[in-house]
Structure 1
Amino acid sequence: MGTARTSSAAGALHHLRTGPRGGVPVVLLHPAGLDLGYWDRHIAALRPAYDVVALDLPGHGGSPGGPRDWPLERVTATVAAFLRGLGIPAAHVVGISVGGMIAQSLALAEPELVRSLVLIGTAASFSEEGRAAIRDRARQARTEGMEAMLPATFARWFTSQALTDRPELIDRATTTLLADDPQVHAAVWDMVAELDLAPRLGRIACPTLVLVGESDPSTPLAAARELTDGITGARLHTLPDASHLAPLERPELTIAHLLPFLAGQG
């Protein structure tokens, strides 16, 4: 049960792979601005039973990339090529926020690659008001830099209790965000502002679990219900005392739902 931390020739995506080779693959897609390291608790929980692959999306962590890598179709194709380059024929795909949007897109564009979906704190579409706010987020990153993004980002990501009681988490996320390329960050939000997968959700045929923090202001319960209403058979669970990035704030809750769901898929 080894661990590999390399750059893949397919898409040059930096990744960590651990767990039994030949086991069922689980692929982890992080949110905008962060990297694979934020899956640490989930990787530890999954690696005894699964072939776990966590990757850095283009322009994040150790992966090269720029703004041109961030149209949704392009980043989806990059992830698909990366998985094929690793010899993974199909995987359970778990995504947070933007990672969940890419997971949906992958299930639509390359359904044979996706055994199941776990969508955490994510959405398929946004209101016009929401799109305007996201475009403003992109503008701020592009013109003011990453430091200007921090207060509003943390207010969306975490509950007020976490902001007060978890300084180590906030310090870690601050360090990561300040190291990001603001032009890449802006391009990610440009993509999100145009996202509209809702009309195609009915084409997703794989088992799907949707998790949402009860205090999530970015992709609230209504967004989660749009996913479960659109994807046949999808299951929805609300996570108490959690905001947008529940896997960081309350990893024990997301793991408690993730493991039984994956075990039920065989």
Structure 2
Amino acid sequence: MERFAVVPPSPEPLMRTAVVAQDPPIAGRSGPVPPVPEQVEERRLAFEGFAYTCRIVHQDAPRTEPLLLLGGSSQNRYSWQGHEKWLAPLCTLVTVDLPGYGGADFLPARYGMDFLAAAVRHMLTEIGMPRVNLFGGCFGEVVGLRFAQAYPEFVRRILFCGAAKRLPDIYTDAVPRLSRALERDEIEKAADGLVRLFMSNPGAGQVRRHAAVARLLQRQFLNQTPDEIKKAVEHNTRLVSHGCYEPLPVPAVPSLVFTGEYDTLCTPQMGRELAATMPAALFTTVKETDHLVTVERREESADLIGRFCTDRSVEDLPYCNAVESLGFSAG
């Protein structure tokens, strides 16, 4: 495959997701410094007949293994550009539009998590990355965990955010209503429901930039394209049909599960339940955040990820609550 510099095309926005949204650039303010174009590569691949694309930000002097970022269900491969200022100096970064998501080919719901995990393996094999630090946020955790279970030899460290080993009741209750609204082109109704689903109730606790992030999500949902809506409906069908967890062995590698202290979708208790199934996993919550940890405290979440991937301590960080050791002993 040819290596080439890439600027995101205008028809595909940097971010449309309920899981890890990013702010658009604000005129007159400096933002994260993007990598120079020569560092950025895109690879168009195909797995079992479905085309998909990954984005690679190369680091020629890495301090740790490449970091694979698997984001939320509506997230595309540009969604982590806001974190590159802090993560790209540490290691090579990889993001991907897996089949069925972002700008990849539509994927029918009969293809489940095993297929998506195999697609991740296909990508890493094609781009020559035999071992990575694995991050999964929300739905990215579902795919990431299945990948780690099926292909443990690829995984050096594991980080999961906004994660659970069971579908939240509020999600399964909301899916039929949201899917019907999307199918009927009732986009505003669906957007209202999605914002309520992914963000905490304002009375749950102090969440940084809660109102601003809610407005951002509302705007992003309202601007979804017909292709994105079709994929969103199919995603909900896929997740409900196949479930999100299989009780298979998880590799005994350093692991960290974290979420917002006021996450009402994948609650802290659900994160603890997941961490308890993983050998020697740590768990913590990020202060003044809900499910959208990486939006509400972008720099801090990048710092937490970077610290863990470079074997620096994650204890006693001012933006986190106490770190808990919840994983079982692999020995």
Q: TM-score, normalised by structure 2?
A: 0.70
**Distance apart, 1:31 and its partner CA:** 0.2
Aligned with 1:121 (options 152, 158, 162): 162
Counterpart residue number, 1:82: 123
One-letter identity of the residue aligned with 1:246: V
Aligned with 2:104 (options 63, 87, 108): 63
2:247 is paired with a residue of what secondary structure? helix
Q: Structure 2 matches for 1:103-182, cutoff 5 A?
A: 103-126=144-167, 131-134=172-175, 136-144=177-185, 146-159=187-200, 160=202, 162-166=209-213, 169-170=216-217, 173-174=220-221, 177-178=224-225, 180-182=227-229
Counterpart residue number, 1:19: 58
Counterpart residue number, 2:5: none
Q: Is the 8 A contact 2:72 2:140 kept in 1?
A: yes
Structure 1: stretches of 5+ with no match in the other structure? none
One-letter identity of the residue aligned with 1:232: P
**Distance apart, 1:119 and its partner CA:** 0.4
Distance 1:130 1:185, change over 3 A: closer
Q: Which range moved further: 160-169 or 224-233?
A: 160-169
Q: Structure 2 matches for 1:43-54, cutoff 5 A?
A: 43-54=84-95
In the alignment, structure 1 residue 246 sits paired with structure 2 residue 293: yes
Deviations 1:197-227 (A, max 9, x none): 2633x53322211111122121101110111
Give me the whole-angstrom Cα distance separating, in 1, the residues matched to 2:232 and 2:194.
Answer: 12
Give me the whole-angstrom Cα distance separating, in 1, the residues matched to 2:288 and 2:40.
Answer: 33
Q: Is the 8 A contact 1:158 1:242 kept in 2?
A: no
Counterpart residue number, 2:39: 2
RMSD of aligned Cα (Å): 2.8
Give me the whole-angstrom Cα distance separating, in 1, the residues matched to 2:307 and 2:255.
Answer: 13
1:63 is paired with a residue of what secondary structure? coil
Structure 2: stretches of 5+ with no match in the other structure? 1-37, 313-331
Q: Which range moved further: 163-172 or 118-127?
A: 163-172
One-letter identity of the residue aligned with 2:245: L
Give me the whole-angstrom Cα distance separating, in 2, the residues matched to 1:32 and 1:96.
Answer: 9
In the alignment, structure 1 residue 195 sits paired with structure 2 residue 232: no
**Distance apart, 1:73 and its partner CA:** 1.2
One-letter identity of the residue aligned with 1:52: L
Give me the whole-angstrom Cα distance separating, in 2, the residues matched to 1:13 and 1:63.
Answer: 4
In the alignment, structure 1 residue 96 sits paired with structure 2 residue 171: no
Identity, in percent, stands at 22
Across the two proteins, how many residue pairs are aligned to each other?
264
Give me the whole-angstrom Cα distance separating, in 1, the residues matched to 2:292 and 2:111.
Answer: 21
Q: Which range moved further: 67-76 or 206-215?
A: 67-76
**Distance apart, 1:230 and its partner CA:** 0.9
Aligned with 1:258 (options 278, 293, 305): 305
One-letter identity of the residue aligned with 1:119: F
Give me the whole-angstrom Cα distance separating, in 2, the residues matched to 1:158 and 1:55.
Answer: 25
Distance 1:42 1:69, change over 3 A: farther
Q: Is the 8 A contact 1:156 1:243 kept in 2?
A: no
Distance 1:91 1:179, change over 3 A: farther
One-letter identity of the residue aligned with 1:13: Y
Distance 1:198 1:66, change over 3 A: closer
Query: Which structure is higher in helix share?
Result: 1
Q: Is the 8 A contact 1:145 1:182 kept in 2?
A: no
Q: Is the 8 A contact 1:7 1:15 kept in 2?
A: yes
Deviations 1:175-216 (A, max 9, x none): 66445433321222223224252633x533222111111221
Q: Which range moved further: 96-105 or 141-150?
A: 141-150
